[in-house]
Every structure is written in structure tokens, then in C-alpha cells.
Structure 1
């Protein structure tokens, strides 16, 4: 069981506005690496709605690196790996759109165009709702919802429990 779970938070409704990333790398069913970073979104612009969800503000990312500055850390954890996200369509599009915005080549990651999705997995198990916080609570997984690293860890644990 080898994979990397990833979670992004965005600053606005634009998918290229990543403001935080959390990643958990699992090898042989065990967490071997954790990575998280704040990311300065374009123009350090935030919408009230997004800040209300995750609590990240312009002040938090005023001195953070832009995406190209954190991308080498992201790339080394994703390249050639199985990728898992709770809502894979969202997180995959944030990665693709942010890379496109900064003229980075998504294909160099050599990852599947569709990732593993714990949202879909747990919906198929009959969870309704199947949001990350509800799934984690039902599975006894501690979660600080909308904190990228905690969300990535929650997703990783859900995927591991599904595959046991």
C-alpha cells in the first residue's frame, strides 16, 4: 500500500489560487513523510468565503512562497505515485490549474489523470453525507477540518482503512 494523499486549500473560487497544501506519503501501509506549506496565491488575494472556511488570510501568506517555490517539494512527493484525495476532482484541478497558471508541466509528474478518491469510496459504502469530517468521525480518525495537513492525513487514514 504505497501512495501520497494530498489536500489543497484555495484563497478564492479560482482553482489556481492554492494557498495551502498538505501531503502524507505512505509506504507499505505506514506514513513515512508529511509535508505542508502555506502558498502565496496570485496577488495574495482572498475571498471572504474561502477565509471563512479555512481561516487562512493575506497576513498568513504575505511572506509565503508562491507555488513555483514549493513545487519542488510537491513534485518529489507526487512524481510517479498513486495519488489519493478526498474530493479528487477538486484537488487534482487545483494542482493542474495552479501548475498551468505558473507555466509548469503537469505531465512531468507522470501521475494518473484520475486519482483515488475517498469521497467516492465512502459514498459507495453508503456514507451520506460523505464529507471528510463525517467520514473521519465515523472511522474514529482525529481531524482538524480544512487544515491541509490534517485533511491529507485524514484522507490517507480513510484510504488505509478501506484497503485493510
Structure 2
């Protein structure tokens, strides 16, 4: 399998307030690379979001804005890669709203949501949250809601599912974003 797992954290409830992004690259079923960046959302931080992920306005004061970061990562979303996220509607919405905020085009790409695959494959689990899945599947998750750790865990969940259920079982979960 070849794919890129990604995860955003946001400064507040607005989807255009990304304050961190992580990418985990998988080639031939091996994690080969990762990327992490704080992002200056140029908006206020809500205390609840900071409580969840620990990122503050001071942490991102010198970080690039999404518009400054986009040229460095855009190719990932335009090069027909399979993108994977845990709760993909959220992460895809953050991407879309950050791009629209910057006046940039929203690319079309293939997306697979590990929440959906997990609900299908693991119906007996108590829930399908990232930390629960990691615990149930014995996947290490050091800091839940750290974008880097969450993207890595998402990648490991999909690799586990591919090994356990096979690629053919996963193909039907791949969708095109935006529709």
C-alpha cells in the first residue's frame, strides 16, 4: 500500500483555523517519511482547543500561515496520492476552509477514512475513536491530539487493517474529495 495519512489540529471551532498539520508517508506498506508543522492560523485560540492539543498562540507566533505552508505540501494533494485520515470529513473540511480562506483552489483527491473502515471491521469495539482503536489494536499512541502522533497512528491502523482484512476489503472505502 502507498498512501499519506494526515491530521490537522485547529485553534478554535472554525475549520479555517488550522494550527498544526502532520503527514505520514507510507510506501510499500512501510512508513518512510513524516512531516509536521505548526501553523499560524491568524485567528484566536479557544481555551478548549488549547486544552485538547496543548498548542497556544505563542507557540505559533513565528510559524508559517497556511498560505505560506501550502506551496510546500500542495503536491501531495494534487499528485493522485491516496490520502487517509481518521475522521476524514473533519480533516478534509479543515483543508478546504484553509484553502478557501487563502483564495486557493481545493484539489480533488482520493480519501479513505479510518473511522469508517474501523466501524465496519471492528463492530464490537466500544467506540471508534483514535485512542480506543490504538488501545484495542495494540498500536502505540504517545500524545493523542498531537497531529504528528495522530497521523502516525492513523497510518498504522490502516496498515493493520490491510494486513488483517486485505486490500480488496479496503478499496470500497476510497472516495473522491470533494464529491
1:123 positional shift: 1.4
Name the counterpart of 2:23: 23
Name the counterpart of 2:51: 52
Name the counterpart of 2:113: 117
Tell me the distance in 2 between the aligned counterparts of 1:105 and 1:25.
23
Aligned pair count reads 159
Tell me the distance in 1 between the aligned counterparts of 2:66 and 2:13.
17
TM-score (norm 1): 0.93
RMSD over aligned CA atoms reads 1.1
Tell me the distance in 2 between the aligned counterparts of 1:75 and 1:29.
23
| Residues 55-95 of structure 1: CA deviation (Å, up to 9, x unaligned) | 00001001111001111232133332111000000000000
Name the counterpart of 2:170: none
Q: Which runs of 5+ in 1 are unaligned?
A: none
TM-score (norm 2): 0.85
| Residues 133-161 of structure 1: CA deviation (Å, up to 9, x unaligned) | 11011111111100001100000000010
Q: Is the 1:40–1:63 Cα contact (8 Å) retained in structure 2?
A: yes
Q: Which runs of 5+ in 2 are unaligned?
A: 164-179
Bigger CA radius of gyration: 2
Where 2:20 maps in the other structure, the secondary structure is strand
Tell me the distance in 2 between the aligned counterparts of 1:152 and 1:41.
20
Name the counterpart of 2:136: 138
Q: Map of 1:60-99 to 2, 5 A cutoff?
A: 60-79=59-78, 80-99=80-99
